[in-house]
Structure 1
Amino acid sequence: MSSHDQYVESADGTRLALRRLGAGDPVVLVHGSGGGLHSWATVADQLAHDHEVWLPARRGYGPSDVPPGPKSFTDETADLLAVIEAAGQPTGRTVHVVGASYGATVALHTASADPRGIRSLAIFEPPLFAAGAEVAPLLVRYRSAFERDDAAAMAAALNDVTRVPAEIVAALAASAGTRTPDPAEARRAAIGWLHDLEALAGDSTDITRWSAITVPTLLLAGADTWEPMPTTMTTLARTLPAARYTVWAGQSHFVTMTAPTLVADALRRFFVEASTA
């Protein structure tokens, strides 16, 4: 599937890189922490058969701009609204917004702030438990490790943010074997993580604030994802009682990589339902 790369300017002048592919109703896929233009690639390739798919790199993640100073979810919301406007402009259609992990938190903030351009919202496992005072000391730890370029210490701080169980961390390390990440890519992800942690440290763990969201919403989760994500998702489902809620057996927080067809099919079905509701 051929793609087209372009830039969109956010309200404060930050340039956001975008990859666009396919044709049809517009879909914006918002990536999680450590990601970028590539994050949703396998899901996007499948959705692009019948949708126009927009893949932004969030601010802080090259080739998008990395503005100086700490980032907030106010910045993220302005950015996503700029992308939604660009995606809807050619046809005047409203946009299906899909977020994974931290990108799902961005999508919730945006739908709460200004839902006018959003046709539907699909939310996969936002880390709503990782915010505020709890994250602040982890941000300090991470920033110190980042400034020393200490990859192991950065990873340890992030594991305390995401609460990935030690056995899963070990299994991921074993599956990577002797492969080492490209240094430029590792640095790009590390910079992005730093700014995401800034936004998380300035945010709240209050899930009830999302109760005002009224656009058609699909909540998605993996049955094998570790706590406190299952409890977080259950609380979010109670907060958004009109939302559909799908839990995939045998899947975890990595489902967009391990089972992209499962994800794409669920999204495609939901887009049809949301468009006819």
Structure 2
Amino acid sequence: MKRWLMGLFCVLMACATWAESPAEVRKQAEASMLVTGSIEVMPDGSVQGYTLDHADQLPPIVVQILQQNVPTWKFKFDDQQTVAVKAKMSLRLLAKRVDDTHDAISISAAQFGQDDKVPGESISYKTRLPPRYPGLALHSGVSGTVYLLLRVGRDGRVEDAAAEQVNLTVYASGRDMQLFRDNLARAAITAAREWTFNTPTIGKHVADDYWVAKVPVNFDIRPRGTYKDVPYGRWQSYVPGPRQLVPWVEKKKLLTGAADAVPDGGLYQINQGLQLTTPLSGA
């Protein structure tokens, strides 16, 4: 009985999403900013210090929010440490409209990785052809970003691929938004399945059966040469897609960190680096 009710609830929620009007979808829009830098963590997991890339280009309110929260974070390591560890840091800040004159700004996602990667310790791209722009999205003038999860086997080939989240920069009905997300996701997954990777040759993950990585794939409908990327330190508006659970991601810690904290063009190997144990909003 409980399973039947849960199934009915999921169907009703899906129908409600598809029935949303463009105006209702517009209310879901967010503005976000990706901030990068580095962080130093003591052996006990406390933050010793951090630096922000191009801090002078960031809005003062963003710098202030990070000053209030980053020093309160706590981390854990896979192995015992005796000295401070320095790691790269990528943070997604989110601005949501509260009323006509106020926005609420928060840290919505974070990724942490090794600061100075030793060649051969992590997977890296070997061949990577960009995806073809899918027909529906192309003819509808749709742009967006697909955040992929890839499972790379020991032969360097992609064993499995899934879209963890798809963000769009257009407004349409709930039904059309889902069609656009599916269209972009299929194109990104199709391309990713043909990519190949250099696998680790040294380090503690060299004998792993497979490696999991997060990769953002950007689709921009504007012709090349007619636009510029959003400058660092500027807000970018979009409609976030729902985050999908991926069945073949077995370990809970592989799902830590939001999908969209990886910079465009980045390759983030999961299960490496620091693991945050406190909320992004502070301890």
Same fold (TM over 0.5): no
What's the TM-score bracket when you normalise by the shorter of the two chains? Answer: under 0.3
Could you state the TM-score of these two structures normalised by the residue count of structure 2? Answer: 0.22
TM score, norm. by length of structure 1: 0.22
Higher fraction of helix = 1
Q: Relative contact order: is structure 1 or structure 2 higher (C-alpha 8 Å, sep ≥ 6)? A: 2
